[in-house]
Chains A and B, each alone.
Chain A
Amino acid sequence: MNNRIVDHPVLGQIDQKRKVTFQFDGKTYEGFENDTIASALLAHGVRTLRKHEESGNPRGIYCNIGHCFECRVTVDGEDNVRACLTPIQENMVVESGQVQPHPLDPSKEGVKPRTYAEYKEQEGQK
């Protein structure tokens, strides 16, 4: 599956740059050097980079110039990295954002510390 324009009428042939392999949600993908995460995944037809934290709607590239943050992913454990600006590196592990528990969700009552004492006690437990 390769959505790339390999022979552009103006830009010419895509020269065979060095291949870089990276991981997205457990699957391995391959892109060229200096590809951004978003473009490398787009080349493989992967458009859903994350799910909306509340409604779960699939989200992906929107502005592609780094100011809308729709393409935010977790890279090597670091959150809120913009996939449209971050070039891929060898063995980079990228994870897509999933639906988050609702902050006002009563069923999660016990989990979040509501007072400083609870926070200290929870922190103590860690």
Chain B
Amino acid sequence: MKDTIVCRCEEVTLQELEETARKYNSSARELKLLTRAGMGFCGGRTCRQAVDKVLTDITGEDPTNELPLKVAPPVRPLSLTDLGGLAKDE
């Protein structure tokens, strides 16, 4: 059960989340920064609730009153090349 993948994009397992949350007593944002859960291609859409739930179980922190791991712009993934990367400096 423990090696269930919670965040599909970054392949973060439940065990990593729990260990990190216990070790650093982290908030939702810190957990994201430490384990990259929620930072993947889908922008946290798939795993945000699960990460919040894991956190509530361990640190008892209710994610609603913390800064929510909301889906922030850009709403669609954008590559740096689209933004005018290499050789597009005209």
Contacts and interface: CB of A to CB of B under 8 A. Distances in A.
Interface string A61-91: 0110001111010000001100000000000
Contacts, number: 31
Interface residues of A, number: 18
B45 to A, nearest CB: 5
Nearest to B41: A69
B49 interface: no
A25 interface: no
SS of B interface (majority): loop
A22 B9 CA distance: 28
Interface of A: 52, 54-55, 57, 62-63, 67-70, 72, 79-80, 113, 119, 122-123, 126
Given A67-B45, A68-B42, A70-B42, 20 more contacts: A54-B11, A57-B11, A62-B8, A62-B46, A63-B46, A68-B8, A68-B46, A69-B9, A69-B42, A69-B77, A70-B8, A72-B41, A79-B79, A113-B86, A119-B86, A122-B86, A123-B86, A123-B89, A126-B86, A126-B87
Interface of B: 8-9, 11, 41-42, 45-46, 77, 79, 86-87, 89
